[in-house]
Amino acid sequence: MSALASALPDFPWDLLEPAKAKAAAHPGGIVDLSVGTPVDPVPALIRDALADASDAPGYPLTAGTPALRAAIAGWLARAGGASGRLGVLPTIGSKELVAWLPTLLGVRPGDVVAIPSVCYPTYEVGALLAGATVARSDSLTALGPDRRIKLLWINSPSNPTGKVLPVEHLRKVVSWARERGVTVVSDECYLALGWETRPVSVLDDRVTDGDYTGVIAVHSLSKRSNLAGYRAGFLGGDPALIAGLLEVRKHAGMIVPAPVQAAMIAALGDEEHVDRQRERYSARRDALRTALTKAGFEISHSEAGLYLWATRSEDCWQTVDDLAERGILAAPGLFYGPAAAQHVRVALTATDERVAAAVARLT
């Protein structure tokens, strides 16, 4: 194995295979709620835009076409509340960006990347790929005066907890980071999925006052527009930082395919399909939440995003195993950090028929 591969943790999903096999043996078939992969159709207007742009013999622009750049900036102004002059950049989905951002920004061995105590595992992977050290914390005070911190990840709405960071908290994070010259990167790929609260972008004028220095927001169309299969993400924020990222990504060939760029323009220009998808998830969420509560689970946070963060105050593997007996697969909290040993993550991404099957098995 290469030195780089061996610096990374074991791929956690392999550990879920025994529970998956158990759930699959259920006579009614598995209800797989372990992964947040969209199952509903790609909206027709996006598929049409992709098809119309399929005659694409030349190399696409790493920076994105002018039309795509305008679509991203327009959407960040409308949905993100950002009225200033933003740098923007399309990415090949957001996972590659999350994994390579510390390296692309020049984070090096000896530097520290701060990540939430319970979070999407790729933040840690990205720090390790850069040879940096990870500090897990939700508290700026606990991070203290460590001058080695170069990059701070936040994620609101959070995967897996569904927690949303309010304006005041985001303001504090930005000013803390600016005082120390730390880059703040806010992963906002679930921004469109607020249930009990309306999530706020770090780029919102109420947070930054229109000054994006040292701030980058990461977005994805995977969840908002059912485009996980297209690999469509983008960044908005500090124009100087994003210009630097563009330079490196041009050299490295990190280019979004031209038909996907066209599909992204269509997706960003339409909110109707987003409303329809939000309604589907809302109904599934209500059904699963009620059933889990009746089955003795407590739901923590989960005010936004694509998951229910559930606990029965026992070891998460015990819960995963019990749910697997009922043919339901959930993700153990430990995949997201050592502080989450008693939670499981239940995704809302299953068809109505599979969600109904899960509800019947829980109640």
Q: Which positions touch ligand PLP (CB under 6 A)?
A: 36, 93-95, 98, 120, 155, 159, 187, 189, 220, 222, 228, 233
Angle at 308 between CA 307 and CA 311, to 5 degrees: 140
Q: Which of 202, 221, 238, 252 is nearest to 90 (CA)?
A: 221
Shorter beta-carbon distance to ligand PLP: residue 124 or 187: 187
In the chain, what is the straight-line distance between the N-terminal and C-terminal CA atoms, in Å?
47
Both tokens assigned to 136: 């897990």
Pairing of strands 183-187, 298-300: unpaired
The minimum distance between CB 237 and ligand PLP, in angstroms, equals 16
Min CB(246)–ligand PLP separation in Å: 19
The least distance separating ligand PLP from the CB of residue 36, rounded to whole angstroms, comes to 5
Which of residues 159 and 208 has its CB atom nearest to ligand PLP in the complex? Answer: 159
Reference 196, options 244, 157, 222; nearest CA is: 157
Q: Which residues contact 18 (CB under 8 A, 6 or more apart)?
A: none
Using the minimum distance from each CB to ligand PLP, give the nearer residue, 220 or 311.
220
Cα 23 from Cα 128, distance rounded (Å): 33
In the bound complex, what is the minimum distance in angstroms from residue 227's beta carbon to ligand PLP?
8
Instruction: Report the residue number, 161 or 312, with the smaller CB distance to ligand PLP.
Output: 161
Q: Which is nearer to ligand PLP, 195 or 327 (CB)?
A: 195
Strand, coil or helix: what is 119? Answer: coil
Q: How far is CA 349 from CA 36, 272, 324, 339, in A?
A: 6, 19, 17, 25
Residue 346's contacts (CB-CB under 8 Å, 6 or more residues apart) are 33, 288, 292, 307, 308, 309, 310, 330
DSSP 172-215: HHHHHHHHHTPEEEEE-TTTT-BSSS----TTSHHHHTT--TTE
Which token pair is 211?
Answer: 């000054």
Among residues 79 and 357, whose Cβ is nearest to ligand PLP? 79
Min separation Cβ 68 and ligand PLP, Å: 16
- CB closer to ligand PLP out of 95 and 343: 95
Residue 170 CA from chain centroid, whole number = 17
Q: How far is the CB of 50 from ligand PLP (least distance, A)?
A: 16
Q: How far is the CB of 57 from ligand PLP (least distance, A)?
A: 27
Q: How far is the CB of 357 from ligand PLP (least distance, A)?
A: 23
- Rounded to 5 degrees, φ, ψ at 345 are -105, 125
Q: Which is nearer to ligand PLP, 65 or 220 (CB)?
A: 220
Give the separation between CA 249 and CA 251, rounded to whole angstroms.
5
Give Cα separations from 238 to 219, 225, 243 (angstroms): 15, 25, 9
Please, which residue, 62 or 94, has the CB nearer to ligand PLP? 94
Shortest reach from residue 55's CB to ligand PLP, in Å: 26
Which amino acid, one-letter code, is at 202? V
Q: Specify the DSSP class assigned to residue 321.
A: H
Distance CA(223)–CA(191), nearest Å, equals 10
- Choice between 84 and 257, CB closer to ligand PLP: 257
CB of 98 to ligand PLP, least distance (A): 5
